[in-house]
Each structure stands twice: as structure tokens, then as C-alpha cells.
Chain A
Amino acid sequence: MTLPVLSLMLVTLLGGTLLTFASRDRARYVALATSVAFLLEVSALLASYTVWPGPVNGSPGYADLESYSWIHLSWLSINYTVGVDGISLILILLTAFLQVATVVYSWEESKHPEAYHGLVLLTCLGCFGVFIALDVLLFFLFWEIVLVPMFFLIGVWGGPRRRYAALKFFVYTHVASIVMLVGLLALVFYSGAKSFDFASVYVAARGLSATVQTFLFLALFFGFGVKFPIVPFHTWLPDAHVEAPTGGSVLLAGLLLKLGGYGLIRWAVEVLPVGMAHLTPLLYVVAFAMIVWGSFVALAQRDLKRLVAYSSINHMGIVLLAIAVYSQLGLLAAVLLMFAHGVVSALLFMASGSVHHTFGTRDISKLGGIARTAPILATMVMVGSLASLGLPALISFPAEFTALLATWDRIGYWVLVPLVILVVTAAFYLWMMQRMLFGPARNVPATAHDLPWYETSAMAILLALIVIYGILPGFLVNVIVNSPVYGFPGFP
């Protein structure tokens, strides 16, 4: 038994969170130290691998596996089981980066900074837990942990309609959680798995009939899908984003949406391939609906944050599409795109936040000429937008390219739907930039200034990621395709 690395990382985050809550004036330093420590741990973890474990005798194998008995009864056993593969590692890396960036961005948060930073850390802790949990109950526990701090982040630090948005967020995601939990428990009990461990559930689920797999997949798809968010259960997202504080938006778009994608891949696609095959048409319909709907509605938005929120729906639609094609290439594209979208949307939400407190409004039609008044901010908006619309040499391009190629390979000319929508996506970003960044300067308050150092630094981190991984995505690809799922029997 080697070092329990993942548990140590969890403890780092937990300790950091508690310390942050406890420390009054120094909260941001503690939070930053914790985040940096966590990022270093993640880097060390990534660097430590030369070989990833693959499936063993038809059951999946994960790296840095730890398993301790937690609840043991004659008819079931619940364990504390954690482990990682390439897919979760990529998302953990994303978590670490976004955590650092969010803490730095919120450096001057004045309203209860210890609680704010503590909740940010707690959100990241929950996400990290979701990505490493390999036990049904543990997974659910972390999944629920994420909701609480986000609820408070929106409800306390949010905008004017924060109570409504927070409650809406909570109710939506909670209803979905319950359906998901029911689905997961039913999965365990129907399959007759003797333990809640992922590996035993995975093996046991092979014996399920197609009908049952289909029903279970449907429940899980709904449960994970609301987080995606799938159309038509997506309206919590724009409201939550508009009201959430910038840090909350960043985590919401950057991480929370990825929980849905990750959960779907890990607990539904890997475990219930037969059920998925029966529901593929539904997945396609939902994915296309998200892509088309998100893009079109985004075009009509005047609030910058709402625009970015709807573009998130569009991008997560492509993620869902890439999952739906059910191939190695598609899965790679989905994970890659989740990482890309996490970084890009985080940058765009930070930029929206900065626009708001520099100019006092996020209404695109009231802004103008930011390129002259705040050139650094304008650059950030520009790079974020160009990355989001899929410009090569920036991070989204390799992801979208592979996603669309995988789609073409599986469903042929249907790929024209997302392709044509790429033009609409370009249109709303370019139009937004034309109105907001260019043209004569308008509505510039006397206090307007370019970004303070901490906002610049936070965005610079993301910018660097966008460019570096845009030019050299090979590292991410290598990590992802070494996941056990790529070796699963029957995975094309």
C-alpha cells in the first residue's frame, strides 16, 4: 500500500476550508495557500504516473485506489473507495486551476471574506470528491456537498434577485439529485451488487436486462442531465449565473456543469452501455436541442452574463453530442471539451464580472468602446470569445474538432447541425464584441479604470491555459485516453 494520496489531498482541502472559515482577516491568504498547495499536489499526482491501470478481468481498475470499509452489513457493504483515471484527473486539474483563479479573482471580497473563500473552497472540495469517489454513497455525498456552498454563494453574495435564483438552483438540482440517487440505488439493488463500489456495480450491471438498463439509464440521464443542463430543464442556469457573484459563476460554469458530464460518463455510460444504446436517439435530440437552442437564445441576450450562460448550454450540448456518439474519439472529445469549456467560460464570467463593476452595468446595448477605456479587459473578453467560438490555437478548437469529427463518423451529415450553429455562435460573440468593445466609448463612469492586479492575474492564469493547451493539447489527450474505459470490452 502506497501513500493514500487522494485522501491526503482531500484532507488538504478540508483543512484549508475549515481554517479559512476560522480565520478572519487572513482568510484569503489561507484560501490561496490551500489552493496552491492543492494545485501542486495535483501536479505531483499527474507527474507521478507513467502507467495507468487498465481493466482487470472485465472489471475496471483505477489508479491510487483506496478502499476502507465504511458500513458493512450482511447484504450490502458501503466503502470509502476513491481512485482516479485519466478522465477524473483532467477534471481534477481543472478544479485546481479554477480554484486558484477564483480565489485570486476574489482577492478584495469585502463581505464576510472568510465565509466567501471558505465556501469557494468547499465547492471545490465537493467537486474533487465527486471526481475521485468510486462508491455510490460517497459519490452522492460529495455531489450533495457541492450544492450547499453554491446555494449560499448565490443567496448571500448574489445580485438583487439572489434569493429567487438560489432557491431555483437548489430545487432544480436537488430534484435531479433525488432521481439520480434513486437511479443509483436501483442500479445497485437490481444488479445484485454486493457492494456499493464502482467496480462491483460495474461488473454486476453487465447482467442486467436491456429493459432495466434502459430505465436506469433514463433516470441517471435525467439526474445528471439537469446539471448539464439539458433542455428543457435548463432555466435555472441563466438565473443562477446572472445573480451569482463572479466567483460563484466561475465555479458554476467551470465545475458544476462538469459534474453532470462526469457523472453521466462514469456512472451511466460506462456502467449501462446497453441502456444507453437504446436511448441514443433521445440523447441526440437533447444534444441538438441544447446546441441550437443555446446558441439562438444567446444571440438575443443583452446581459453579458446571460449570453455566456446560454453559450454554455450550447457547448455542453456539444459535450452531450460527443458522449452520445459512443466512441473512443467521442468520449475523448467530450472530456477535452469539458476542460476547455471550464477554462473558457471561467474567463468569460470573470470578464463579465469585471465589466459589471468597472462600468456599472452588463447590458451590452449600454456599453461601448471598452477597447479604448479598458484595453486589458477588452483583450480578455476578446480572447475568451474567440476561444469559445472555436478559433484554432486556442483550447476549444482541438476539442470541438474531435467532437465534430466523431459525430461525422457516426451520424454523417447530421453534423451539419452543430457545424452551421458554429456560425451562429460566432455571430453572437462577434456582435457582442462589436457593440461592447468597439465603437465610440459610451457610458464610461468617472471611476472606470482597467483591471486591478488580482483580476488581471486570475484571468492571466486562464489565458495561459487557453493558449498553451490550445497549441499543445497532446498532454490532455494522452492523460484522457489512458483511462480504463478505453480498454473496456465492447467500447468502440
Chain B
Amino acid sequence: MAVSFVLVGLLGDRLKKLEHGGWVAVGFAGAAMVVAVLVVAAEMLHPSHYSDQSFTWLQLPGSPGAFPNGFSLVIGVLVDPISALMLLVVTVVGFLVMLYSIGYMHADRGLPRYYAELSLFLTAMTGLVVSDNLLEFFLFWELVGVCSYFLIGFYYEKPSAASAAKEAFLVTRVGDVLFLLGIFIYFTIDATAGGGLGWAASGFKFVNGSTPFLAGAMGGSSTLQTVAGLMMLAGAAGKSAQFPLHTWLPDAMEGPTTVSALIHAATMVAAGVYLLVVASLFLGFTPDDRLAIVAVGGFTTFFAATMAVVHPDIKRVIAYSTISQLGYMVLAVGAGFAMVGMYHLFTHAFFKALLFLAAGSVIHAVGTQDLFKMGGLRRPMRVTAAAFAIGALSLSGIPPFAGFFSKDDVLSSVYTAAQSHPAYWPFLILAYATVFLTAYYIFRAFFLAFSGDKTRDPTLPHPHEAPWVMRLPLYILSGLAIVAGVFPFVPSFASLLSIGANGNVPPVFGTTDLILSALSVGLGAAGILLAQALWGNGRVYVLAPESALQPVRTILLNRYYMKAGYDELGLRLVYGGSRIADFFERYVIDGTIRGIERLAARLSGTLRQGQTGLVSDYASYVVAGVVGLLILLLFVAPFVLASVGGP
């Protein structure tokens, strides 16, 4: 009930918002955050507590295959440990980003639109988090997608922004339609599986009253279930920008930095991971699904990190980093440790939002996103520099920052799973390699922006520190990026990460292996040192033109040509196909008709007297024709039909 207040509150804000500035939106987002904190507190007091309230949205008639007696679709609010945790992430980051926007967006046009869309996004995201069935999940899933579309295209007069918005919508749409198929399959499985699941009877909800339908109950590893799991993966890959549907996220950086921080780092892109977590808890994955998820996550982690290594744009570096980190979460879920994925999602939301907001502060100050034009910003922007450093250390997995705990947990849980699933090993190795790359690329960005004496491009405006509304979120997020990692060591908080009494979900922590931890910290530290050596103190490391690495760099800068390939595919195959179809339509289908017309016109030369051009005359011919046909039917057809065995 408390959460439905959140929904209403944010909707209300959307309406009022249109007259006022952003403070109304900030206020409502703050209220939502307070409610979320209360929800979390309640969940911490009652571990493994499920409370669900729903109403029937549609009562549908039957279909002979799986639903002979019809079924109902519901809309409801489910508060359980993981949704409480996710709610906390969404509202805290949402509130801080709203607050930050007051300063950051200050000079832009169309602010009511901005705050309204951002509020709508928060509403939809909240709805997604508390969904108690897959259809409702999908409904809000699409709504957050369309908000993302609007916000990426916020500067719609810029052609690149309009194009990026379209790309984001379309690429995620590919995942979405497959997700929809996955929903159909789950509906079918759960309506026909029997076994006392009660899924269909309850409107396909995840819970029955306060008892969750946990995945173990469904069992089975039929082909259908594998396919459904893969469809969930496809949906998640679209939303969470996993390979091969990752291309939209770097381009989504066309939106305001605040939007990047909230939607494209902390919350919406994490919705894909959240879907996988929810699916693995309530629906279950087959071993084949698991392997596919591990493969996608593991590969994406490494793949995205390589592209971040060379990129000159501060926001895009962080965007690739987001894809890479989401890959870690997907990896953990695939390895069977869904809660570990949630844990990394939780810490990542804070340190990644921090990195984006710090980058936003830089962009706000110098008016460019090009790292090679920046430099020496440490002195004029101490707070920002410190915030970015904290975010970078956390991202690199250096203790005692938050990222260390969760990333270490991801790695060790995959290590644990690989003991029994040898096929996971290559992806574990990729994940470890990524630790090194991550530390390197983020500190490369850090040194390029902040170290040295002065900006490399002297035409940039004189940098200044951000106003307090922007600094305050930086302080808070810095604090969270430091301490969020140890939250789960508090038992009552850890209960948010353990789904319940049934005990068929593995614990939060994989293994606590000091050697593994040392390995990942060592790799991280090595990455930082390499970055320091190449880029520290205002140095710019230029790769020799004849270097053997030059072609690699070109490939990386061109994003493995995947984006270009997709564009080409869309242009040549789909649009080209549609041009051919259009040609066929105009000249073959319609051309035939015109040919017939012309033929008729020529014939009519002999029947000219009848062709008066008046519709009434034609109509009388029609009547004559009907009479003729009737005669044919009544007197001729019976004989024909009688001979073929008619009535």
C-alpha cells in the first residue's frame, strides 16, 4: 500500500509539474524516497516477507490450447525483499539526480517537459520494480523504454540525438518482442503444467497471498522452458545493453548527463538484470539457459571494456563501463547466484551514478565531453575530482570501496559455479581480464580530465566548481560508494538479499577466498598503475602510427564495426527490401490493375455507347449482373454442385 502511494505521488507530480520548475518533482521524488526507506525498514524487520495487493485488470475468454477456460490478467503491487532493495536504489538515485538536475539543467529550454518525463520515468520504474506478474512487468518495462526514448531525444533538434533515441527504442524493441514471446511461453507452461502451481489461477502472479511461487516448484527442463528462458535473456539483453544488442547505450549518451546517470547507468538498464533475477527466482532457468546467460554476460563484460579503453569521450567511456558492469551482474545471475547479481546492481547504481554526475559536473564546467581537451581540472574542481576518484576506485574494485565487495563476490561466485560447470571457465577468465581493463580505462579518464596543470584546449571556459545542488548529491553518492559494499554484512540488510525460507536460492556470498580477492585487487591496482604511467600528470600517451596496436585501436574506436553493420543491415536489407516491396506494389500489383483498366478501356471502344461515365449507369449494369449471377446460381449451379456432391 505504501508503494502505491509512491505511484500516485509521482503521477500527481507529473500533472502539477507542468507549471512549476523542478522543485515539485524533487519534492515528490524525495517523498518517494522516504516511503522506499520505510518499506526497506519494514522488510528488514520482517525478513522474507511478501505482501501483495492486486486487482484484476482483464478477464479474458478462453483459447483452446492452454487456456480453455479463460484466464485473468492482474495488476498488483508486490513488496518483497528484492523489490524493496531495488526500490531503494531507484528512489535514492532518482531523488539525487532530480536534485542535481536543478543545477545542471538550469539553462535549458523545455524544463517542464524534462521534469515531467523524468517523473514519469520514476513512476514507471517504480511500477516495474513492484510488479507482481510478468505482464505488468512488461507493461512498465515498455513505459520506461519510451521515457528513455523521450529523454535521449531531449535535445531533439540535434539530429544525432533524434537518431540515438530512435536507435535505443528499436534495438531494445528487438529484445522486447522476444520477451513478449517468453511471456506467452511462461503463461502456457504455467497454465498447463499442473503441479498445483496456481500460477494461471492467480493471474500469473509471482506470489500466492504471501507465499512466493519459487522457481524450484516449477521444476522441469523442457525445451519450452529453455526457450522461454532464452527469451527472457533476449529481453534483458536489449534493456541492459548486452551483446549483441548493446549498440544503443553509448549513443544514448546524447541525452542530458543526468538522464545518463539515472536511466542509463543506475536504474533502467539495470531493469534487464532485475528481470533475470526475478525470472531466476520465480520462473527458473534450465542449465542451457544458464550457460547462455553466463556466455552473454561474460563476453559482454570483456567486450565492452575493450571499447572503453580507447574512447575519447568521457561519457561514452562511462557508458561502456556500464555495459561491462551489467555484464558482471548477468554473469552472476547466470552462474546461479542471482542475489550476487543484485548485490552488484546495488553498489554499481551508486558508484556509477556518482561517476556520471561527476562527469556531468565536469561537462557543466568546461562545456565539452572530449577528454583530450580537458586536463588539470583537479585544482578548480576539488569536490568533483574527489567524487570521480571515489567512483573510479569503487569501480576498479579497490578495497574498502563498495565495488570491491560486490565485484569480488561476483567473481568468486562464478568461480564456485565453474567448479561444477567447466564451460564457465572461459567467461570467468574474461571477467578477471576485465578487472584490469576496467581499472585502466577509468583511471585513464580520471588522469586525462583531472591531472596536469591546465586544460589542453585553452579555448575552454574557465572551470569552476558546481553549485551546492549539484555538490550535495556528489557528497551523498560518494558516501554510498564507499560504504554500500558493507551493508550486507549487517544481518538484517543481508536478509534483503536472501529470498526466503524455501532455501532453493543460493546465498549472497560465493566463497570468501583471499587468494581470489588478492588476484582481483592486484589486477585492479595494476590497471591503475598502468594508467598512471601512461596518462598521469597531464601526460598524453600517443600510440606510434606504425605500432602494431594501431589497427586494434581503429577497430575499437569503430566499436568492432557493429553499429555500422547494424546500420548497413537496416539500410540495405530492411529499407532496401521495403523499397523493392514498394516498387513491386506500385508497378506489379497496381500495374496489373492499370493494365486491366487499359484493356477494359480498349474493349470499351466497341461498347462505347454503354459507357456513359455515369455511376448510375454502371450501377444498373451491376444490378443486371447480379440478376444474371443469381440465375446462374439458382439454375445452373445446382447441377454443377450435384455432380460434385453438393447439398
Contacts and interface: CB of A to CB of B under 8 A. Distances in A.
Interface string A439-461: 11100000000000000000000
A391 B169 CA distance: 11
Contacts of B58: 398, 473-474, 477
Contact of A409 (B143, B188, B593, B630): B188
Contacts of A401: 135, 180
Interface string B176-189: 01101100110110
B512 interface: no
Contact of A391 (B146, B577, B589): B146
Contacts, number: 179
A431 B159 CA distance: 12
Contact of A437 (B64, B156, B170, B593): B156
Contacts of B220: none
A211 interface: yes
A58 B63 CA distance: 21
B578 A297 contact: yes
B575 to A, nearest CB: 6
A10 interface: no
Given A297-B585, A393-B139, A427-B170, A212 B646 contact: yes
B589 A235 contact: yes
A209 B647 contact: yes
A293 interface: yes
A211 B63 contact: no
* Chain A facing B: main interface SS: helix
A418 to B, nearest CB: 9
Contacts of A348: none
A98 to B, nearest CB: 24
Given A190-B647, A297-B581, A440 B157 contact: yes
Interface stretch (B35-43, B65-73, B285-293, B502-510): B65-73
Contacts of A65: none
Interface in A288-335: 293, 296-301, 325, 327-332
B57 interface: yes
A119 B161 CA distance: 45
Contact of A423 (B61, B142, B170, B615): B170
Contacts of A422: 173, 177
A405 interface: yes
Contacts of B602: none
Interface residues of B, number: 69
A426 interface: yes
B180 A369 contact: no
A170 interface: yes
Interface stretch (A125-133, A180-188, A271-279, A352-360): A180-188
A481 interface: yes
B622 to A, nearest CB: 6
Interface string A448-492: 000000000000000000000000011001100100001000001
Contacts of B67: 329, 409
Contacts of A423: 170, 173-174, 177
A474 B59 contact: yes
B139 A300 contact: no
Contacts of B644: 211
Nearest to A239: B590
Nearest to A410: B65
A293 B61 contact: no
* Chain B facing A: main interface SS: helix
Interface in B144-191: 146, 153, 156-159, 161-163, 165-166, 169-170, 173-174, 177-178, 180-181, 184-185, 187-188
B60 A477 contact: yes
A360 B415 CA distance: 65
B629 A189 contact: no
A28 B77 CA distance: 49
Nearest to B644: A211
Given A211-B644, A235-B593, A434-B163, A406 B181 contact: no
A5 interface: no
B579 interface: yes
Contacts of B138: 392
Interface string A406-417: 101110000110
A194 interface: no
A404 interface: yes
B59 A477 contact: yes
Contact of A211 (B59, B70, B589, B646): B646
A151 interface: yes
Contact of A151 (B579, B615, B625): B615
A406 B63 contact: yes
B599 interface: no
Q: Interface centre among B138, B139, B185, by most A CB within 10 Å?
A: B139
Interface in B44-70: 56-68, 70
A75 to B, nearest CB: 12
Nearest to B227: A413
B483 interface: no
A293 B581 contact: yes
A433 B188 CA distance: 37
Contact of B63 (A209, A328, A434): A328
Nearest to B65: A409
A374 interface: no
A138 B646 CA distance: 28
A474 B63 CA distance: 18
Contacts of B57: 474
B60 A329 contact: yes
B634 interface: yes
A405 B184 contact: yes
Given A178-B625, A328-B70, A424-B574, A486 B181 contact: no
Contact of B169 (A332, A426, A486): A426
Interface in A380-414: 386, 391-393, 397-398, 401-402, 404-406, 408-410
Contacts of A420: 177
Contacts of B645: 209, 211
Contact of A182 (B158, B178, B187, B626): B626
Contacts of B139: 392-393, 397
B64 A327 contact: yes
A329 B71 CA distance: 10
B544 interface: no
Interface string A232-272: 10010000000000000000000000000000000000000
Nearest to B185: A408
Contacts of A481: 59-61
B166 A492 contact: no
13 contacts: A190-B647, A208-B647, A212-B647, A232-B589, A296-B581, A300-B578, A328-B63, A369-B157, A371-B156, A409-B67, A419-B177, A430-B170, A492-B64
Given A185-B630, A409-B184, 16 more contacts: A186-B633, A190-B647, A209-B646, A328-B61, A329-B60, A329-B61, A329-B67, A391-B143, A392-B140, A409-B188, A410-B65, A439-B157, A439-B158, A474-B57, A477-B60, A481-B60
Interface of A: 151, 168, 170, 174, 178, 181-182, 185-186, 189-190, 207-209, 211-212, 232, 235, 293, 296-301, 325, 327-332, 369, 371-372, 386, 391-393, 397-398, 401-402, 404-406, 408-410, 415-416, 419-420, 422-424, 426-427, 430-431, 433-434, 437-441, 473-474, 477-478, 481, 486, 492
